[in-house]
Structure 1
Amino acid sequence: MVPGPRGVPLLGNLPEFGKGPLAFFEKLHARGDVVSWQFGPKPSLFIAHPEQVGELLTEVERTFDQPDLGIAFRTLLGNGVVVAKGPDWRRKRSLVQPSVRPKQVRSYAATMSECATDLAESWTDGQRIDVKQHMAALTQLIAVRTIFGVDTAADAEAIGRAMDVAQQEIGAEFSGIGAMLPDWVPTPGRARIRRATAVIDAEVARIVARHRDGDTERPDLLSRLLTAQDETGAHLSDQEIRDETVTLYIGGHETTSSTLVWAWYLLSRNPDAYDALTTELDQVLGDRTPAFDDYTHLPYTQAVVKETLRLYPTIWLLTGIAKEGAVLAGRPVPVGTRVWSSQWVTHRDARWYPEPEEFRPDRWLAEAEEIPEYAWFPFGGGPRVCLGTRFAMVEAVLILAVLARRYRLTVDPGEIRPVPSLTLQPDKEVRATVQAR
């Protein structure tokens, strides 16, 4: 273990971390693969090597515990499967997992392509668009259709606005002084996230009531959650339904929306990769709309998504708390130590990725076998790997396929920097010109 930069009394390295978490983790990594630092008064370790990342992710629930990510995070997600621990987590995972298995994702693929096609048909040659706004609206619509089984702009708009506020406040509290404050301390940010969550709760409650009043079977995720039973025959409670639908919404909307924004940005800056993408789409699809079965026949399109997630991972941070018996790199970790890993840092390590700052989708075709396990972990890994991984990958690939087959998006010149909040967001509007192919 290598000592990290000196901190200040009580706050440790929190002030520097809060100014720029990504730059701070890069600074720690420059010192080594296992570096100690102080998150406030709490002892912490930063790890960057895939072997140690794997040790952390695979040992969660045994020798590492899920950390408390703060009142803002809990206000939004409640005690959903991402937050729950121990037997409660295992029960909820068993109830939620069947809703996002490959068979179920297949049934959602038509909705994904249909929504993307509707967006493509609304575009015109030469049109100027806000890429983030269009991708957010698209993935929101897909989310409310596949998760909630509703199809009105009001549902998507109300939930989407509230989610945007909640995401901003979670990021602000997590990397600021709010991370050190007790839950009972009132702050303007906590008030804002409570108001946003109240909107989300009201929308979810209304949609759940609509489902329960219906007399027909629905194919959406919410309906499957409402009928799911654990081994004792018990159903999820109303609060649990709320927590899981919000969790699935974030996984199905926020992560994919952000990934697509970064993908258009990277493709626009790398015309050779854009040409390779459209060549594959022309050869595989021709003039038809992609379906679920096309996913496996679009390896370069998948590689574009993977390479985007390498450079701009939507989830940029994972942590765990050491329990009795925790070990990293062959050395015991004191109980209570908080261990941090960042996809942003490990994904950009030249040891695993030649020319790590370059956007090279082909590396996932030619060099994939040389990339170590846990050198790429945008969806986490181990027993708590994101349940929506398949959903998110299929959604991103099909949306790219639908839109890039018909249009070329040219993002305006200038660098766009990532801002770490709940997900990794661009620091400004991403404006682009739509060009018909």
Structure 2
Amino acid sequence: MTADTGAREQDRHGEVPVVVPGPKGVPLLGSLPEFGKDPLAFFERLRGQGSVVSWNFGGKPSLFIADPDLVGELLREVESTFDQPDLGVAFRAVLGNGVTVARGRDWRRKRSLVQPSVRPKQVRSYAATMASCAVDTADGWRDGQRIDIKREMAALTQRIAVRTIFGTDAEGDVEAIGRAMDIAQREIGAEFSGIGAVLPDWVPTPGRRRVKKAAAVIDREVGRVVAAHREDGERPDLLSRLLTAQDETGARLSEEEIRDETVTLYIGGHETTSSTLVWAWYLLARNPQVRAALDEELDRVLGDREPGFDDFARLPYAQAVVQETLRLYPILWLLTGIAKEGASLGGLPISPGTRVWTSQWAVHRDPRWYGDAEVFRPERWLEGADESIPEYAWFPFGGGPRVCIGARFATVEAVLILAVLGRRYDLDIDPGEIRPMTTLTLQPDRDMLATVRARGGGA
């Protein structure tokens, strides 16, 4: 790889990109301390230096890429010339070897078994549950009531996840799973951006002990639900589909694999949507003109009725609100791959073992691809908008062969919940800036307190 301190960014007309030297960091740890202090700001600084920037992550040679063409190439080449990295003992303790972690033939087999459960036809069948749970939440709110939006959205999406995955509210200790997931998210984020990222798996840190306890709770509750399903027979839910899925040899998922995929689907159907909605309410409260445009669409399309799956396509502005929220506050905030023999990006050879990083946070906020990049403007996503956004300048669900299989589920869920609650209520969020916190997903750094205001004629 060549370096040129004067190089700025890749020419988007096919020239081979140039590697720009990045921060030197400190002996042994490289830039890990700076990265761990504020990963989002760190990636934004690297983005400002060029489209391919070299840096050192805990003694490991690394590259950061910020050009959408290179991001797309990295995502498409995972499973080919780039490997999925090992994301650490804390991550493995929670997600095991599920479809988001598995590699090679094992990944292809698991994806073929899990993907049918979240195809468009199945998502349509879950839409009624999504809307019904949102209506229950709306029915429980009152004008002038004080709520914690984080808690309310977590409870709502958790209820949806439990019903769509397990088919019931009653089985298992849902609150125990929720608490365990919260602990796991925090500790995974802390380990990934701290000294735990370079410690051997056998080192027993306090954070790792907390993750193991949380994983034990998750294992116990998921095992209880799976056992009940086996006794009751097939049901129209995600777990039943996993239990009966067969690969090309007729083999089914093992007990351990069922556990891993159930947890993966739970996180995808609960944690990611919950966080997206929290950030959506935050942005809507601070942008009254956007809120007014959303209200107009909800009133015009829905009137005094609740939404169903077919309304998803009739609510393009609500979809744009979700899409713009995921641009500014992407729930997944970084992706990384490890170069194998023969790896390259934009024609630039990448040495085997090099870790290549990109960040949705940094790329999504790049003024090269977005006018008024820091401004919440859903209109940029509407049909006919004149803003030209390159492919892979927006990738909140990843991309390529390993794109998130639950993206459709999460998007439909977020839009329907926004429609149900937004049709009836405004949320006046307490003043003060809320900052993103880098756990497993991008979370608000404090509780988000608000006053519920009934909309005229909507309730």
1:224 aligned residue: 241
Q: Which moved more, 1:272-281 or 1:362-371?
A: 362-371
**2-structure distance, mates of 1:331, 1:138:** 47
**2-structure distance, mates of 1:260, 1:397:** 9
**2-structure distance, mates of 1:369, 1:54:** 20
Partner of 1:30: helix, strand, or coil?
helix
Contact 1:11 1:40 in 2 (8 A): yes
Per-residue CA deviations over 1:135-186 (Å, capped at 9, x if unaligned) read: 0000000000001122139632111110000000000000000111100010
Partner of 1:98: helix, strand, or coil?
helix
Contact 1:26 1:345 in 2 (8 A): yes
TM (norm. structure 1) is: 0.99
1:178 aligned residue: 196
> 1:330, CA displacement in angstroms?
1.5
Q: Which one of 399, 409, 431 corresponds to residue 449 of structure 2?
A: 431
2:170 aligned residue: 152
Pair 1:222–1:296, CA change in 2 (3 A): same
2:51 aligned residue: 33
**2-structure distance, mates of 1:393, 1:57:** 21
Matched, 1:280 2:297: yes
Contact 1:166 1:193 in 2 (8 A): yes
Contact 1:128 1:433 in 2 (8 A): yes
Describe how 1:229-378 pairs up with structure 2 within 5 A: 229-365=246-382, 366-367=384-385, 370-378=388-396
The one-letter code sitting in structure 1 at the alignment partner of 2:236 is P
Contact 1:322 1:336 in 2 (8 A): yes
Contact 2:172 2:224 in 1 (8 A): no
Q: Which moved more, 1:203-212 or 1:369-378?
A: 369-378
The one-letter code sitting in structure 1 at the alignment partner of 2:44 is E
2:429 aligned residue: 411
> 1:317, CA displacement in angstroms?
0.4
**1-structure distance, mates of 2:366, 2:207:** 35
Q: Which one of 383, 390, 393 corresponds to residue 401 of structure 2?
A: 383
Partner of 2:100: helix, strand, or coil?
coil
> 1:367, CA displacement in angstroms?
3.0
1:167 aligned residue: 185
**2-structure distance, mates of 1:309, 1:121:** 27
Contact 1:159 1:203 in 2 (8 A): yes
Q: Which one of 415, 418, 434 corresponds to residue 400 of structure 1?
A: 418
Contact 2:323 2:381 in 1 (8 A): yes
Contact 1:317 1:343 in 2 (8 A): yes
**2-structure distance, mates of 1:307, 1:313:** 9
1:99 aligned residue: 117
**2-structure distance, mates of 1:114, 1:255:** 19
1:78 aligned residue: 96
Structure 2: give runs of 5+ residues left out of the alignment.
1-18
TM (norm. structure 2) is: 0.94
Pair 1:204–1:420, CA change in 2 (3 A): same
Q: Which moved more, 1:142-151 or 1:87-96?
A: 142-151
**2-structure distance, mates of 1:237, 1:115:** 31
**1-structure distance, mates of 2:172, 2:197:** 34
Query: What value does the CA root-mean-square deviation take over the aligned residues?
Result: 0.9
1:112 aligned residue: 130
> 1:368, CA displacement in angstroms?
7.2
Matched, 1:6 2:24: yes
**2-structure distance, mates of 1:193, 1:220:** 28
**1-structure distance, mates of 2:260, 2:447:** 31
Partner of 1:43: helix, strand, or coil?
strand
**2-structure distance, mates of 1:152, 1:225:** 20
Contact 1:325 1:332 in 2 (8 A): yes
Partner of 1:229: helix, strand, or coil?
coil
Pair 1:153–1:235, CA change in 2 (3 A): closer
The one-letter code sitting in structure 2 at the alignment partner of 1:22 is L
The one-letter code sitting in structure 2 at the alignment partner of 1:413 is P
Structure 1: give runs of 5+ residues left out of the alignment.
none
**Percent sequence identity over aligned pairs:** 75
Contact 1:165 1:192 in 2 (8 A): yes
Structure richer in helix, relative to its length = 1
Per-residue CA deviations over 1:162-216 (Å, capped at 9, x if unaligned) read: 000000000000000011110001011000000000000000000000000014x
**2-structure distance, mates of 1:207, 1:127:** 35
Contact 1:144 1:155 in 2 (8 A): no
